[in-house]
Structure formats: C-alpha cells, structure tokens
Amino acid sequence: MPWKALSIMESRREFVRLAEQGAVSIAELCRRFGISRQTGFEYLRRYREHGEAGLQDRSRRPLTSPRRSAEGIEAQVIEVRQAHPSWGGRKIARRLRDLGVAGVPAASTVGAVLRRHGLVEPGESGKHRAFERFERPAPNDLWQMDFKGHFPTGQGRCHPLTVLDDHSRYALGLTACADETLATVQGQVTRLFRRYGLPKAILTDNGPPWGSCGNTEQTGFEVWLMRLDVRLLHGHPYHPQTQGKDERFHRTLDIEVLQAQRFDDLADCQAAFDRWRVIYNEQRPHEALDLAVPASRYRVSASAFPEPLPGPDYYATDQVRRVGTDGTTHFKGRAIKLSQAFAGLDVAFRATATDGVWKVFFMRFGLAEVDLRQAEAHMTTVRDVSERTSRMSPA
C-alpha cells in the first residue's frame, strides 16, 4: 500500500512543534517535510501569532475553555471520559490541566466522579500496580518496531506496522500495511527516516523480514540498516517482553481504536490510525512519563537520512574483498561464507593480534572472526548482544 500521509493540518502541527524544539535547522526540517523554506517560515509566523488557529483554513472551537466556571468541572471530566473511555482519573485530571482548565481536582476526586456516574467498572482500580521501568536516556537512541497482529477489513487484511521511540514513547509510525514483506517495511521505514532522521539502533523481534528466526546470517533489512550506520538489535526468541514498550503500545491501540470499530479497507484503517496517533502523542498522558505526553519528550534526530545510500569505506590497511552472489568471498585462498545479503558489496578483513586470525567487517560492524591456521578456514560469527531487559515493566 502506498504511504498514507497525515492530514494537512496534522502535518502542519507536527512541523511547527518540531521546529520550535530547534533540534535541526528549519531548512533541514522543511526538506524532511517536503515543503519550501518560505512555506515553513510562514507556518511558524502564523503559529506564533495565532497559535494552532493560524495553521488551519477555518477556526475550530476548542474542546474546553479555561474560563469555564468551577461548577462545570464535573461535566468536563465526563466529556473527556466519553471521548476516551479507557482513560482513568489520573490521565483525565492531567489532560484537563494541560488544556488550561482552572480548578481541576485531584485524580482521586476525578475517579470518584467517574464512579458516581457509573463510568468505572467495580474493581478496575485494583488491577494497576507500580513497576520498575527502563528506558534509553535520549530520543532516537533506540526505536522499537514490530507488526501488530493483522486483522480483517471489508477488503482484505490490515497489518499495522508500529514504530516507537524508546525514550519518549513517541509513536513515530503507525501504518496500515497490506503485507509484512521487506519491500513494504523498508519503504515505510525510509519515510520515517526522511522525516525524523536516523536513530542509533532499532529493536525488533527475530522473525521476518528483520530477522531470520535464530539464523545467524544477516538479513537484507539488517544490511540496509548497516549502510545507514543504524544498529539492528533483536529480542529474545519467544520473549516479546523485550520489545515491551511496543507491545504495550499495541494493547493500547487495540483498546482505544481497534476494539470499537470495523474498517472498510486500508484507507479507512489509516485514517483512524492518523487521528489516534495525534491523541496518543500529544494529548494522552502517559503513566510511564509521570503523566507527560510523549511529544513533550521527543526531539527529531540530527542525523539526516542520506541520499543516495552510502557504500562501504574502509581503512587503507584493510584487505577488501567483494562478496559473490551466493554470499561467499575469498581471502588468502580460502572461501569464506557470509550472508547472501552482502552480495555485490565489499567487506574488509582486518588483522588481529594473533597471527592467522582475521576479523571481517562490513562498514563499522563486525561480522565474523576467521582462523586461517587450520586446513580449512574456521569462522566464528560475531553478533551484537541482543537487548536483555524484560523482567521489568514494558510500559
């Protein structure tokens, strides 16, 4: 399915919010969003003078007004709850404060309002408990990516591809895909790279198209990321908690979007995903962020997506060899079998402190260690240590 863009208004809002952060230049951000610098500066001027109203063609009435009387607080609590049936007292109280509503009571009082109006199931509050949480220290240090389980639409099945920033929980991508092929994934991830820049690493599971279910050979997706200087990490096999934040995001998506709707086709799915992604990133208080919203912690990456894709560059002292179509290269009269994903690309053999033992590199990534002291070359595959995290909360 072709990339389904956000609505014009949503794209403008995201542009000015990221521009105000100053993580990259306005010119670079305009390039990523596919607009001219003149247009980008015009959006910023209109936003600074008129707020969000300056970005739209016609004004919209705000959801709530900070000058409404204290007597209307209860009605506002119910209004937010009806718009977001899965939100509890803490999220609703924080959302009303973020909207500038005066006199918002404590979360416990908001919870009492919900119970009084029959909006909380008995015993629901007792299900929640505190967890120890883990996260990367900065935005774009690690993205988590996975497909949520596919589901039927009126015309075929939808495979939601989700990409989440580990530090901020910002939903970078939520795409309704027709399949889970390498071409589909690479196309969607490329679009995210062009808009948000490159992360340092991406965490996925071990299945196709990013992994090979325990096979030590690199996949085409991993080699593509290597060329972009992005490290691919894999979770434990049969242990989805390693990608816990993305798994938790899937549950929230299921509760707040998928369970309540039926979809005609992929375009219908994407429209719902786009609407909810704005709510998730910019409106929904996140428990793991001390009730801040993910957008308040996310910054675009300063590492821009390179076009065209760079090729390998090695030291002058390296022994460089081309990999054949079957994934085999030759070094000092020995055949060295690598992955077919490197076919047509150059790898480097680098001497170690031990005579006869060489390390094999692609770009800056170590692939294997080769011992030539034996009759047949003995190769030990070098793999990066996978993420090992999951005894703590995935939220």
Q: Does 141 map to a domain?
A: yes
The total number of structural domains that make up the chain: 4
Q: Higher pLDDT residue, 9 or 155? A: 155
> What is the 3-class SS of 24-52, one letter each residue?
CCHHHHHHHHCCCHHHHHHHHHHHHHHHH
Kindly state the tokens that stand for 119: 């909006």
Are 227 and 360 part of one and the same domain?
Answer: no
Are 117 and 230 part of one and the same domain?
Answer: no
Are 243 and 264 part of one and the same domain?
Answer: yes
Q: Which of 5-9, 60-64, 238-242, 269-273 is most confident? A: 269-273
Q: Does 200 map to a domain?
A: yes
Q: Does 310 map to a domain?
A: no
The 10s digit of each residue's pLDDT in 108-129 is 788 777 777 667 655 544 444 4
Q: Does 314 map to a domain?
A: no
Give 133's DSSP letter. B
The parent domain of residue 10 ranges over 1-61
pLDDT at 6 (0 to 100) = 53
Are 151 and 280 part of one and the same domain?
Answer: yes
Q: Does 391 map to a domain?
A: no
Burial class, 288, CB count within 10 angstroms (exposed 0-12 / middle 13-18 / buried 19+):
middle
Are 38 and 118 part of one and the same domain?
Answer: no
Q: pLDDT grade, residue 236 (50/70/90)?
A: low
Are 289 and 357 part of one and the same domain?
Answer: no
Average pLDDT of the segment spanning 378-393: 50
User: Alpha-carbon distance 153 to 23, whole Å?
Assistant: 39
Residue 55, Cα to own-chain centre: how many angstroms? 26
Share of the chain above pLDDT 70, in %: 83
What spatial distance separates the first Cα and last Cα of the chain, rounded to whole Å? Answer: 30
Are 149 and 194 part of one and the same domain?
Answer: yes
Q: Which of 96, 127, 158 is the last residue of a domain?
A: 127
The 10s digit of each residue's pLDDT in 191-218 is 999 999 999 999 988 777 776 555 567 8
Are 327 and 203 part of one and the same domain?
Answer: no
∠ Cα 35 39 45 (to 5°)? 135
Are 262 and 158 part of one and the same domain?
Answer: yes
Are 24 and 103 part of one and the same domain?
Answer: no
Q: Which of 61, 78, 107 is the last residue of a domain?
A: 61
378: β partners: 371
The 10s digit of each residue's pLDDT in 123-177 is 544 444 444 456 788 999 999 999 998 999 999 999 999 999 999 999 999 999 9
Are 98 and 158 part of one and the same domain?
Answer: no
